[in-house]
């Protein structure tokens, strides 16, 4: 009995220590740090935001395959003064791509098509133009989602003012009005080089709607967002009035409000997701746990490996960037839309990571600093860290 009582007391002490851990880690992320390898010696997190004119930041930290803490900083809109909350929506920009890729891999798992099928056998409403460059190897979903398809657009998407006419996906791919980007054309044979291609991901968006015969937001909601519980996420473009009440505003590099609250992105798979760091953390955790055979809400263990295995050209797998830092394998993705910057990174095996979203064009150095502080506080493998004292 005495031994049992001692064990219960010890367990209570451990739980109490665990409960206080987020506060301790928050202090190590938020407080002034000196020295600091990022050149921000003695800056608090609030001062880092002010230094780079970033009005608002939202963060979610993963530890042991769970969200350890999430918090908002600053304001969602400098004009209204509304505070950033953990449920404040930000544009995910190119982080839309790995979420879209998971939906594709789920479609493959369900037998809709293969990652190695000729994309023109999947497309029905538009075809990738014939090219001598694809005679030896066709463009495939695997190539499109790893930026090795040979498509040469290489452009980012500037988006559209909410009052401006928006093109269809076919008009975007053809580069015809009112599209504000050029056509998607072959530049080299598939799998011979890496070149980032938002246009290629947009081709895959069309392939998904051709296959499912449903609006793209409904497809990803049913395949990915719903099963994972990403309740604050949607590919709504433009954003619905209900969700817009919780949305951050776009700001320029000086921290001033843009002339519109945000731009709309009909290139949904490439740039159209609205979400929160908490939901992105849920997404990353599902990948981590599925890879270890601990979950299967969307994909099987075999299927998720497609998203974690380099295709052989560049550092990309299907939808995700991969990096090896010391002994640590990480996966993740960054994003940059008009007035928004964001990033998430997670360890392949060890169950930790962080998602960071900002509402300013100058958000990248703030993201880098927060990521470095989190990595140092939690003792991550081999990331460039500030020195914490």
Of residues 342, 341, 336, 343, the one with CA closest to residue 383 = 343
Residue 104 neighbours by CB under 8 Å, 6+ apart: 115, 141, 145, 204, 208, 318, 319
Spatial separation of the C-alpha atoms in residues 89 and 272, rounded to whole Å: 12
Residue 21 lies in a domain: no
Residue 389 lies in a domain: no
Residue 384 lies in a domain: no
pLDDT recorded at residue 325? 74
pLDDT recorded at residue 19? 44
How long is the chain?
389
Residue 25 lies in a domain: no
Residue 4 neighbours by CB under 8 Å, 6+ apart: none
pLDDT recorded at residue 127? 97
pLDDT recorded at residue 16? 32
pLDDT recorded at residue 374? 94
Opening angle at CA 142, ends 138 and 144, nearest 5: 75
Spatial separation of the C-alpha atoms in residues 349 and 351, rounded to whole Å: 6
Residue 234 neighbours by CB under 8 Å, 6+ apart: 217, 221, 225, 240, 243, 273, 274, 275
Residue 1 lies in a domain: no
Helices (H), the chain: 2-30, 45-51, 96-109, 141-145, 169-174, 198-212, 216-220, 226-228, 241-244, 268-271, 277-291, 301-304, 363-378
Residue 387 lies in a domain: no
Residue 185 lies in a domain: yes
- Judged by DSSP in three states, 74 sits in strand
- pLDDT averaged over 10-residue windows placed end to end, the chain, 389 residues: 37 35 89 77 94 98 98 98 98 99 99 98 96 93 97 86 97 96 94 95 99 99 99 95 96 98 98 99 99 98 97 92 82 98 97 98 97 91 55
70: phi then psi, degrees, rounded to nearest 5 = -140, 145
Number of structural domains the chain divides into: 1
Cα 144 to its chain centre, rounded Å, is 17
Residue 260 lies in a domain: yes
pTM > 0.85: yes or no: yes
pLDDT recorded at residue 294? 98
Structural domain range at position 214: 32-378
> Domain of 97: which CATH number?
3.40.710.10
């Amino acid at each position: 009995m005495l031994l049992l009582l001692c064990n219960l007391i010890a367990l209570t002490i451990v739980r109490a220590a665990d409960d206080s851990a987020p506060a301790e880690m928050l202090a190590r992320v938020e407080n002034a740090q000196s020295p600091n390898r990022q050149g921000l010696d003695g800056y608090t997190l609030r001062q880092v935001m002010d230094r780079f004119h970033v009005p608002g930041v939202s963060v979610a930290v993963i530890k042991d395959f769970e969200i350890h803490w999430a918090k908002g900083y600053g304001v969602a809109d400098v004009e209204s003064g509304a505070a950033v909350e953990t449920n404040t929506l930000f544009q995910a920009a190119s982080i839309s791509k790995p979420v879209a890729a998971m939906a594709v891999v789920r479609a493959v798992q369900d037998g809709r098509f293969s990652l190695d099928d000729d994309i023109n056998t999947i497309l029905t409403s538009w075809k990738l133009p014939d090219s001598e460059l694809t005679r030896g190897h066709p463009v495939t979903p695997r190539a499109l989602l790893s930026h090795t398809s040979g498509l040469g657009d290489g452009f980012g998407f500037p988006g559209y003012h909410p009052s401006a006419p928006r093109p269809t996906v076919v008009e975007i791919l053809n580069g015809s009005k009112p599209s504000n980007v050029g056509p998607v054309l072959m530049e080299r044979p598939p799998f011979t080089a890496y070149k980032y291609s938002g246009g290629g991901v947009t081709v895959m968006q069309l392939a998904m709607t051709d296959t499912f015969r449903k609006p793209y937001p409904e497809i990803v909601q049913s395949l990915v967002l719903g099963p994972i519980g990403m309740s604050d996420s949607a590919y709504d473009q433009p954003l619905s009035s209900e969700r817009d009440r919780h949305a951050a505003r776009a700001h320029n590099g000086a921290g001033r409000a843009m002339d519109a609250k945000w731009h709309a992105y009909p290139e949904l798979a490439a740039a159209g997701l609205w979400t929160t760091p908490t939901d992105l953390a849920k997404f990353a955790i599902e990948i981590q746990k599925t890879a270890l055979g601990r979950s299967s809400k969307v994909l099987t263990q075999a299927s998720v490996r497609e998203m974690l295995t380099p295709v052989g050209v560049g550092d990309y797998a299907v939808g995700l960037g991969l990096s090896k830092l010391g002994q640590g394998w990480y996966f993740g993705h960054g994003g940059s839309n008009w007035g928004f910057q964001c990033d998430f990174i997670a360890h392949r095996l060890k169950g930790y990571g962080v998602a960071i979203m900002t509402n300013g064009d100058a958000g990248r150095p703030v993201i880098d600093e927060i990521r470095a502080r989190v990595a140092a506080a939690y003792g991550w493998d081999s990331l460039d860290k500030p020195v914490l004292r």
